[in-house]
Amino acid sequence: MSLRPTVDFLLYQWLDAEKLQARERFADHSRETFDAVLDTSERIAREKYAPFNRVVDTEEPRTETEPDGTLRVVLPQATYEARRAYAESGLLSAAQDYDIGGMQLPYTVEAAANSFFAAASISIGSNLLTSGNANLLMVHGTDLQKQVFALNEFNGRWSGTMCLSEPQAGSSLSDVATRAVPDGEGFESDPLGPRYRLKGNKMWISSGDHELTENIVHLVLAKIPGPDGKLVPGTKGISLFIVPKKLVDTNGQLTGVRNDVALAGLNHKLGWRGTTNTLLNFGEGKYPVDGQAGAVGYLVGQPGKGLHCMFHMMNEARIGIGMAATMLGLAGYYASLDYAKNRPQGRPVQGPKDGAAAVVKDAAQPQVRIVEHADVKRMLLAQKSYGEGALALNLFCARLVDEQHTGDAAAADEARLLLEVLTPIAKSWPSEWCLEANSLAIQIHGGYGYTRDFPVEQYWRDNRLNMIHEGTHGIQAMDLLGRKVLMEGGRGLQLLAGRINATIERAIQVPALAAHANALGKALQDVGAATKAAWATGQPADALANAVPYMQAFGHTVLAWVWLDVALATLAADAALAQPASVGRMGAMRFFFHYELPKIGAWLQVVSTRDATCASFPEEAF
Amino acid sequence: MSLRPTVDFLLYQWLDAEKLQARERFADHSRETFDAVLDTSERIAREKYAPFNRVVDTEEPRTETEPDGTLRVVLPQATYEARRAYAESGLLSAAQDYDIGGMQLPYTVEAAANSFFAAASISIGSNLLTSGNANLLMVHGTDLQKQVFALNEFNGRWSGTMCLSEPQAGSSLSDVATRAVPDGEGFESDPLGPRYRLKGNKMWISSGDHELTENIVHLVLAKIPGPDGKLVPGTKGISLFIVPKKLVDTNGQLTGVRNDVALAGLNHKLGWRGTTNTLLNFGEGKYPVDGQAGAVGYLVGQPGKGLHCMFHMMNEARIGIGMAATMLGLAGYYASLDYAKNRPQGRPVQGPKDGAAAVVKDAAQPQVRIVEHADVKRMLLAQKSYGEGALALNLFCARLVDEQHTGDAAAADEARLLLEVLTPIAKSWPSEWCLEANSLAIQIHGGYGYTRDFPVEQYWRDNRLNMIHEGTHGIQAMDLLGRKVLMEGGRGLQLLAGRINATIERAIQVPALAAHANALGKALQDVGAATKAAWATGQPADALANAVPYMQAFGHTVLAWVWLDVALATLAADAALAQPASVGRMGAMRFFFHYELPKIGAWLQVVSTRDATCASFPEEAF
């Protein structure tokens, strides 16, 4: 089974993506146009990404020093070609309006299209950041900022970054120390936006420097000092700035002046090596502008609202990470399935014979392919249930994004709130379980999987990043239990429970699903009770001490729901299970209910009892 | 907390290692002599191993081609120096008799001493293979084989390998295809042992070629063809041979003739890169001996008994792997603890205030060190409970080895059988959970943990091997459920249950432990019931389909027992918990009972129901 049929099933049979045509924005679209986008993506991914996934790992980004002391990033040729093919495909602006050259493609289909690139080589492209950057400007930028910066990102001329973290401020953005001061008199009247000079260091900036594009548009979080010269503590003081690597005029032409943004170094990572990851120094005076140190930046939106602007894009960015983790998980699944079907090793167990205690095998028989061993099947089925389940969840969330943007007011609001609750799961769950899937893919390969002659060890290394970036696992868990399940009086959680119960009510009518429906109902009750118990004292320190186990249980419950709903769609499309793919989906669903869902008991126990073993553990006792 | 105090506590307070003095073999020993060995090991590990752990990863083994076409393995200088220091310390023969230059050190203390090297750099040394090789010869070799080969391994002149796997025969040793034929007339009268010529390819051979030592003693599994020229199917046809890289005389001097063993290539691994891993071609004619292709090998023991000889050493080899995994887990724990104590990031959660739903933090306060966050404590405590628990289990198993070798007949027999049952756990449990510990160590480091500037990503990569080599996870699980719990009428399982119940009976008297004692009692019952249920049909295919979940549950139960027993020793030594280390051990024990032991329910459920979701899943449905 390859990726495309699974994507097609989820899009058309499960999510009914064709119905989006009924929306005015998507009226010109049809399954044919969607398929054409998927075909193109699949082809470019196959030709320009997949063959070079190991190359970008081996030839990781390095720097050369130019005669003038500038550090230049060296990337493999394949990265240039992949980037060019992607930009030329129009996918960067696929979701945008026709009048700026977009295709008005639903986000659901865009996300599905991007899945092929992620599966082929997660680290070659960092196109999601460019899209996210430009999307943010389309919402919060001025008309000229959109025209000059966003459009030149969508058309592929320039690329974009998100500069949030600093060496001392990773998870804790309130500690951002980059300063932005007005750039002289008349700073407010620059047509590109109020002009500031920025000084500070930004860490972990993906695609922060390279020569893949003519220019790089940095979106930078920084603080404007108060009249006393001090920075406002906390996130409220954070503003957002456009800081181009090279200065441009109002027509989007390079002025020939380099901005004061200097590459300080590259991070040498465990994986995801195709994407340059940088430490950038803003305004250190390496490239003074008008004789002055300080990177020129243009304010986006209101001062002090920088994080608000940034978080506007956060849901989609987090779904993007969830999708990245998912596709790595599925890539490992396909690789290990292929290996298991072709590797002969061992024989079926027999006996014990004649009362002998030992299990015997008949060594005179030829070896069987390892896909015939139950334990290998178990490892394949686990990968399938993690990967396809995660893909379903992420496409469901993408569908909610479309609902939020094009549904009627009530539906849009409901989608917004469901997204708030589901996004931490869409990001964290694949990060954790598709990493486990990659470990199982290695295990199926045996010693060969531990070598660089097979792709699975790279998937595992690449995937390890996803629990860290765009908000760590711990941050997602605090967001879920500390904010999302509480917000708007708990209405998000109620909405989700309503959706889950609707699936349960349908499934309980179906003999093959009734037991699973009951198990899911019980799990939902348990999660609800644990949520209440966690907050019973009203003390965040009590509730959040076990936020991660809570998120793990919440995530497994959500995935069980997704699988049960996918099973309903499977039976609706193929009640007789005549297709092997249908049998496969039902098996993966059963696996999830038998092997995975029962795990929530152990996680919820510590949540329900507000277990303080960890929180109260004294530092000196470690 | 560093490693040494934990080792000391487990050796002296928990395992009462000093009592071994009462055995005649160890009569000259005392805590002073044990401590001296540990001191020396700690010092060499600190000076010669730890500083070079990253070097041997970055400068992984490579080959250069000599003018005569020979491939030469190039290793960093540090590897030579580490090897020399280790050999000079006398540790290679520490457990051997005085009369051959050994120290008659208990295996328990030897294992503890080796833990320091494993923590400092698991991949620099492969001394365990040399010891294992020589130990095997001491049991199964002739006097001259011991004299010539084993003794020159113990004294550090030569090193040893174990050549089991072949490209087509990894987990399935019955498919070994290397052939050994008598080396002409009079082959039986060679003083070094019946002389054969071997032809075949051996894969995954650790330290299979290098110039660290004057010679390399390969122990090779091969089959002697029957009169019809055919190999006997299965493991019964396997014999064991000494195949030196360079031929030697009966005085152990090199004859100047190279044996027909050729390095065919190096495996390029995900981790554990300090150890050369090779594909060796035996007898391909690259180095003909007496004008003839075929590697000269000397039979060890009886023909057809090769695997029997090899398995004699398997328990200790598997404990060695468990210890390797354990020490990588603890190395990551110490690194992430150090990081967490020094990295400021974020603030404690407060609120919700005034009925507001959101959790708030006071950004005007300075950041706290991340060791103060409950979720970071959770990740540290998990690592501590996995790593220290695994260390306790492995030292307990090492203590059983001493009992087996020096106890009275009844005690030795009991130790032997307990080892049979516990070895799959001692190998598999740390491989799985100390790998998870390493992942948590990365997580605590955030983005920094994903870079090669910190050691934790390497620990994680190195540790991934341990679920694969010396019998995969799946093989260990089949061994446990398919053989070990059944053997001798289930007496091994009964013996283990007896030990566990003895701990429960003591713990149930202690208020702080009574609830845990009950939980362990319940877990033991559940494992027992699941064992019966798994075999209820008598069909291995039914029982073994879920052998891995069974092993996971079995392992967690064993570890809970180990922790409860360690807690009893902790209270016995420090009833008032006056020492932070005592508080730490009690906390880690509670963590294991609260957060880990409850996981067994989900694993045992599929075992008890003989769940066939995986076994019956049709191949075409993947």
Please give the single-letter amino acid code of residue B437: A
Mean pLDDT, chain A, integer: 95
A350–B619: do the CB atoms touch at under 8 Å?
A: no
Q: Which positions in chain A touch B442 (Cβ < 8 Å)?
A: 270, 464, 468
What's the average model confidence in pLDDT over B36-50?
97
Mean pLDDT score across all residues of chain B: 95
Residue range B127-151: mean pLDDT, rounded: 95
Cα B49 from Cα B56, distance rounded (Å): 10
Which of the four pLDDT bands, split at 50, 70 and 90, describes residue A350? Answer: confident
Torsion of CA A229, A235, A240, A245, to 10 degrees: 80
Closest alpha carbon to B426 in B470, B464, B488, B457: B470
Q: What end-to-end distance do the CA atoms of chain B give, in Å?
A: 48
| Cα gap B475→B418, rounded to integer Å | 19
- Say whether A202 sits in a helix, a strand or coil: strand
A443/B468 CB distance under 8 A:
yes
Nearest CA in chain A to B338: A622
Question: Which tens digit of pLDDT belongs to each residue from B449-478?
Answer: 999 999 999 999 999 999 999 999 999 999
Q: Name the 3-class secondary structure at A302.
A: coil
Q: Give the angle A397-A398-A404 at the CA atoms, nearest 5°.
A: 90
Residue among A204, A341, A544 whose CB faces B447 most closely: A204
Amino acid at B2: S
Q: Do residues B180 and B123 make contact, with C-beta atoms less than 8 angstroms apart?
A: no
Structural tokens at position A164 = 């949030």
From B556, B588, B565, B576, select the one nearest B505 (Cα to Cα): B565
Cα nearest neighbour of A364 on chain B: B233
Tallying the residues shown for chain B, one arrives at 622
Question: Catalytic positions of B, please?
Answer: 470
The string over B31-50, giving b where at least 16 C-beta atoms fall within 10 Å of a residue's C-beta and e elsewhere, is eebbeebbebbbebbeebbb
Instruction: Give the model confidence (pLDDT) of B362-405 as tens digits.
Output: 888 899 999 999 999 999 999 999 999 999 999 999 999 999 99
A170: phi then psi, degrees, rounded to nearest 5: -100, -85
CA-to-CA dists, residue A73 to A55, A219, A462, angstroms: 16, 20, 21
Rounded (10°) angle between helices A600-608 and A547-573: 140
Helices (H) and strands (E) in chain B, counts: 20, 12
- Interacting residues of B562 by C-beta distance below 8 A, sequence separation 6+: B389, B392, B393, B396
**Pairwise CA distance, residues B165 & B173, whole Å:** 7
Q: Which domains does chain B have, with CATH numbers?
A: 1-125 (1.10.540.10), 159-303 (2.40.110.20), 313-352+359-471 (1.20.140.10), 477-615 (no CATH)
Pairing of strands A158-163, A215-223: parallel
Query: In 3D, which of B42, B125, B120 has the Cα closest to residue B79?
Result: B125
Q: Among A451, A460, A595, whose Cβ lies nearest the Cβ of B268?
A: A451
CA separation for the pair A173, A155 (Å, rounded): 31
Q: Helices B107-120 and B314-342: crossing angle, nearest 10°?
A: 50
In angstroms, the CA A488 to CA A498 distance is 16
Contacts of A472 in chain B (CB under 8 A): 443, 446
Confidence check: pLDDT of B7 > 90: yes
Asked if A364's CB is within 8 angstroms of B234's CB, the reply is yes
Nearest to A163 by CA among A9, A14, A295: A295
The answer to whether the pTM exceeds 0.95 is yes
**Catalytic one of A470, A505, A596, A619:** A470
Q: What is the pLDDT of residue B178?
A: 98
Shortest CA distance to B568 belongs to which of B112, B15, B21? B15
SS3 state at A524: helix
Give the closest-approach CA distance of A265 to chain B in angstroms.
Answer: 13
What tokens does A374 get? 């139950």
Lowest mean pLDDT among A456-460, B49-53, B170-174: B170-174
- Smallest CA-to-CA distance from B335 within B269, B384, B275 is with B384
Q: What is the pLDDT of residues B525-570, one digit of tens each?
A: 999 999 999 999 999 999 999 999 999 999 999 999 999 999 999 9
Contacts of A617 in chain B (CB under 8 A): 377, 381, 584, 587
Which residue is it, tokens 């195949």?
B243
Residue in chain A nearest B346 by alpha carbon: A172
Shortest CA gap A396–chain B (Å): 22
Instruction: Quote the ipTM score.
Output: 0.97
Alpha-carbon gap, residue A604 to B487, rounded angstroms: 38
A407-449 confidence digits (pLDDT tens): 999 999 999 999 999 999 999 999 999 999 999 999 999 999 9
Name the token pair of B90: 């006398």
| Nearest Cα to Cα of residue A274 among A471, A45, A82 | A82
SS3 letters for A254-288? EEEEECCEEEEEECCECCCCCCCEEEEEECCCCCC
Q: Which tens digits make up the pLDDT trace of B64-76? A: 999 988 899 999 9
For chains A and B, count residue pairs whose Cβ atoms are closer than 8 Å.
Answer: 309
Distance from CA of B405 to the nearest CA of A (A): 26
Instruction: Measure the CA–CA gap between B413 and B8, rounded to whole angstroms.
Output: 27
The 10s digit of each residue's pLDDT in A23-67 is 999 999 999 999 999 999 999 999 999 999 999 999 999 999 999
CA B275 to chain centre: 15
Q: Do A486 and B358 touch (CB under 8 A)?
A: yes
The reply to whether residue A469 touches residue B449, judged by beta carbons under 8 angstroms, is: no
